[in-house]
Chain A
Amino acid sequence: MQKSKFSSRSRSGSLPRLFQHGDRPWRGVIILISGLVIILMLSIGGMLWVKSGGARSAFGWSFLAPTANPNWDPVNNNFQAWPFLFGTLLTSLFAILFALPIGLGIAIFLAELCPAWLRTPLTWLVELLAAIPSVVYGLWGIFIFLPQVVAPIGAFLGDTLGKVPLLGSLFTGPIPASGASRLAASLVLTIMIIPTIAAVSRDVFLAIPGSQREAAKALGATEWETIWQVLIPYGRSGILGAVILGLGRALGETMAVTMVIGNSIQGGVSLLQPGYTMASIIANEFAEAVSGLHTDSLIEIGLVLFIITLLLNIVARFLVWQVARQTPQEVRV
């Protein structure tokens, strides 16, 4: 009786009592703000969808369709985004191809082999690569990296792989003397996404229980065999998650790529030719877009970029989460 009286009193309390502790308003405020963060995320997609309406109704799916003779003609208001899609996919895929072995090697070194005193400083140094602003990469790329590294590598690739049938079409040269090309963009992206891949896969390795290593070594496996045949298969989906996160970063990277890719819509399929990416066409043309349809088309490219990175993020988070879940908490090292 006493109890029910108490609870009914507190429930039907007057307004001052309701706010006596201030807990309800507090909870209300943090719930409201959390809701706003979610709405912000949704409204990015929604806003781009609405604002790209003009381009979507004018061009439909042919805007994104592959085509041999793409149109990007602000004067006649005719836009097709294929060269940018292709440029983004090509440069990002090659960046992943280069960055995966390096990032994985770093992760293995940091998580499994590195002496304890070296671990923290090395981890920091690798992460500093991600802290350097993108424009600084671009500046260094234009004046140092492209002429000194990319141009010679490109010339070499053009002379060797360029002669191979079929594969050669990816490496038909000659690379421009400045080095500005899709290859340059891929290599700069490689450097920029190594920290992402290394950091995430390092966390994956650290999450693998020690019993796996002990079991493999007890069976006589060498250190490398333990890593290659036990740890990597065990952390496979987490490493895939790392790759996808790296890919997401590569797709959206703007300034450094715009500065080194050469910004050309013609350029065939070769890595050694200048090209364009989705992010770099937006960066280059948005502020000077001449017509409403031009702006709309650029926003639609942004929308596609948003959707791709959204999907990649969902998949990657799911994969990384799965690894963390399958690892029992108490044996985590």
Chain B
Amino acid sequence: MSHFAELMDRNRVSRGRQRKVANATMLSLTGLVTALALIPLFWIIGYVLIRGGKNINLDFFIHLPRPLGMTGGGVLSAIEGTLVVTFLAALFAIPPGVLAAFYAARYPNTPLGVVLRFSTDVLSGVPSIVVGLFAYSAIVVPMGHYSGLAGGAALAVIMLPTIIRTTEEMLKLVPATLREASLGLGAPEWKTSLSVLFPAASSGIVTGFLLALARAAGETAPLLMTTLGNERFDIGQIFRAGVQGHKSVFTILWSIVNQPVDSLPLALWKYAQQPYPERVQQAWAVALVLMLFVLIVNISARVWIQNRSRRMKG
């Protein structure tokens, strides 16, 4: 073997080793960063479970917040407020979201369909604080005061794109034969949509609602400028006062949504920044409730959606 060939050969061997080492290093690095990214997840969940678990008790769920300096008390106002606001958001977002999704799924390539899907994408990218500013300008200013109604509307804008997109995806998963069979039997389009396509896709669609709801329930930014917060908010009290004043159910319901309300994320934000240890402990407990709600809804929705789409594809 000539000197030159020997050199070439040695070079090839060492380059081959180099490539193998680079390969092994980089591939293990990708696994490593995956593990690295999951550290904060477990760190957060673990800490919230421990710290929140220590500070949670029955009082937490059934009492209004106590004045500063007094221990005990709960966040009943925030829990009720979150329920009111997310319920309103679902009420405002789900019917139009589903109807728009019917259009997007049925006519994806018409000009309106293309613009609709683009608008949905844009809406999902709008920062939630900007949605808050919008709801403030569109509802709080004309009404003249902060209200749960405005908060519900803001969260509805945030939920809408998720609802449209998941409903559209689920409707597209329904086999075309089902649609054709229904139309072939003489059922009109609207009846096919509502009583064949919708039920066939309903469990996936409901899952989409839940995912959107979980996201909205954890939102804080838009509530700062719409619901404002109200530690005295108590639905039971409003009802009792309403019944004693012989007011109609509608007046009572309206007065519930027509005033500033508290909410869990808002309470967490306020408590976390206060220099009082008992408030910070409350903040951890609120974080626990909020996180468990969001995670449980999220995980069960995903399990459900996974099974569903597997069954429909298979």
Distance in angstroms between the alpha carbons of A312 and B119 in the assembled complex? 14
Shortest distance from the beta carbon of B105 to any chain A beta carbon, whole Å: 10
A110 lies within 8 A of B34 (CB): yes
Interface stretch of the complex, out of A37-45, A61-69, A164-172, A323-331: A37-45
B252 within 8 A of A: no
Interface stretch of the complex, out of A7-15, A75-83, A155-163, A249-257: A249-257
Beyond A128-B299, A132-B294, A225-B19, 16 additional contacts (C-beta under 8 Å) are A37-B116, A105-B33, A106-B37, A109-B30, A110-B34, A122-B34, A125-B38, A131-B214, A135-B218, A136-B48, A136-B291, A139-B48, A144-B47, A191-B40, A279-B127, A286-B132
Between B29, B113, B220, B280, the greatest number of chain A beta carbons within 10 A of the residue's beta carbon is seen for B220
Determine the residue in chain B with the shortest Cβ distance to A254: B221
B191 within 8 A of A: yes
Distance in angstroms between the alpha carbons of A223 and B220 in the assembled complex? 44
B120 lies within 8 A of A37 (CB): yes
Q: Give the chain A neighbours of B133 by CB distance below 8 A.
A: 48, 51, 282, 286, 298-299, 302
Distance in angstroms between the alpha carbons of A279 and B133 in the assembled complex? 11
A124 within 8 A of B: yes
Distance in angstroms between the alpha carbons of A136 and B268 in the assembled complex? 8
Q: Give the chain B neighbours of A35 by CB distance below 8 A.
A: 112
A266 within 8 A of B: no
A133 lies within 8 A of B33 (CB): no
Distance in angstroms between the alpha carbons of A320 and B190 in the assembled complex? 34
Determine the residue in chain B with the shortest Cβ distance to A125: B38
B118 lies within 8 A of A21 (CB): no
* Given A131-B295, A134-B220, A142-B272: A102 touches B100 (CB 8 Å cut-off): no
Q: Give the chain A neighbours of B32 by CB distance below 8 A.
A: 105
Determine the residue in chain A with the shortest Cβ distance to B160: A37
Distance in angstroms between the alpha carbons of A138 and B96 in the assembled complex? 33
A97 within 8 A of B: no
Distance in angstroms between the alpha carbons of A29 and B294 in the assembled complex? 33
A223 lies within 8 A of B27 (CB): yes
B193 lies within 8 A of A26 (CB): yes
Contact mask for chain B residues 107-134; partner A; CB cutoff 8 A; 1 contact, 0 none: 0000011011011111101111111111
B interface with A by C-beta (< 8 Å): 19-20, 22-23, 26-27, 29-34, 36-38, 40-41, 43-45, 47-48, 96, 99-100, 102-104, 106, 112-113, 115-116, 118-123, 125-134, 136-138, 157, 160, 164, 188-191, 193, 214-215, 217-221, 224-225, 228, 265, 268-269, 272-273, 280, 283-284, 287, 290-291, 294-295, 298-299, 302, 306
Shortest distance from the beta carbon of B201 to any chain A beta carbon, whole Å: 16
Distance in angstroms between the alpha carbons of A310 and B33 in the assembled complex? 31
A48 lies within 8 A of B100 (CB): no
B128 lies within 8 A of A252 (CB): yes
* Given A38-B115, A135-B265, A259-B273: A102 touches B37 (CB 8 Å cut-off): yes
Distance in angstroms between the alpha carbons of A17 and B98 in the assembled complex? 27
A222 within 8 A of B: yes
Distance in angstroms between the alpha carbons of A198 and B37 in the assembled complex? 10
SS class, residues of chain B in contact with chain A: helix
Shortest distance from the beta carbon of B293 to any chain A beta carbon, whole Å: 9
A128 lies within 8 A of B125 (CB): no
Q: Give the chain A neighbours of B306 by CB distance below 8 A.
A: 120
Contact of B99 among A30, A47, A125, A142 (CB under 8 A): A30
B22 lies within 8 A of A224 (CB): yes
Q: How many residues of A contact B (CB 8 A)?
A: 86
Distance in angstroms between the alpha carbons of A312 and B122 in the assembled complex? 10
Distance in angstroms between the alpha carbons of A26 and B283 in the assembled complex? 48
Q: Give the chain A neighbours of B224 by CB distance below 8 A.
A: 283, 286-287
B23 lies within 8 A of A225 (CB): yes
Determine the residue in chain A with the shortest Cβ distance to B134: A44
* Given A222-B20, A224-B27: A48 touches B37 (CB 8 Å cut-off): no
Query: What are 11 pairs between A and B in contact, CB < 8 Å?
Result: A36-B96, A37-B160, A47-B137, A131-B214, A194-B37, A224-B26, A254-B221, A259-B272, A283-B221, A299-B137, A309-B126
A71 within 8 A of B: no
Q: Give the chain B neighbours of A287 by CB distance below 8 A.
A: 224-225, 228
Shortest distance from the beta carbon of B46 to any chain A beta carbon, whole Å: 10
Shortest distance from the beta carbon of A181 to any chain B beta carbon, whole Å: 16
Distance in angstroms between the alpha carbons of A101 and B26 in the assembled complex? 12
B103 lies within 8 A of A30 (CB): yes
A105 lies within 8 A of B268 (CB): no
A144 lies within 8 A of B43 (CB): yes
Within 8 A of B (CB), among A271-319: 279, 282-283, 286-287, 298-299, 302, 305-306, 309-310, 312-314, 317
B129 lies within 8 A of A305 (CB): yes
A5 within 8 A of B: no
Contact of A23 among B104, B129, B131, B190 (CB under 8 A): B190
A40 lies within 8 A of B157 (CB): yes
B189 lies within 8 A of A27 (CB): yes
A59 within 8 A of B: no
A133 lies within 8 A of B221 (CB): no
Q: Give the chain B neighbours of A110 by CB distance below 8 A.
A: 34
Determine the residue in chain B with the shortest Cβ distance to A222: B23
* Given A131-B298, A313-B125: A101 touches B33 (CB 8 Å cut-off): yes
Q: Give the chain A neighbours of B31 by CB distance below 8 A.
A: 109, 113
Contact of B220 among A113, A135, A145 (CB under 8 A): A135
Distance in angstroms between the alpha carbons of A314 and B122 in the assembled complex? 8
Determine the residue in chain B with the shortest Cβ distance to A312: B125
Q: Give the chain A neighbours of B284 by CB distance below 8 A.
A: 139
Q: Give the chain B neighbours of A29 by CB distance below 8 A.
A: 99
B30 lies within 8 A of A135 (CB): no
Distance in angstroms between the alpha carbons of A134 and B218 in the assembled complex? 7
A208 within 8 A of B: no
Between A29, A126, A144, A254, the greatest number of chain B beta carbons within 10 A of the residue's beta carbon is seen for A254
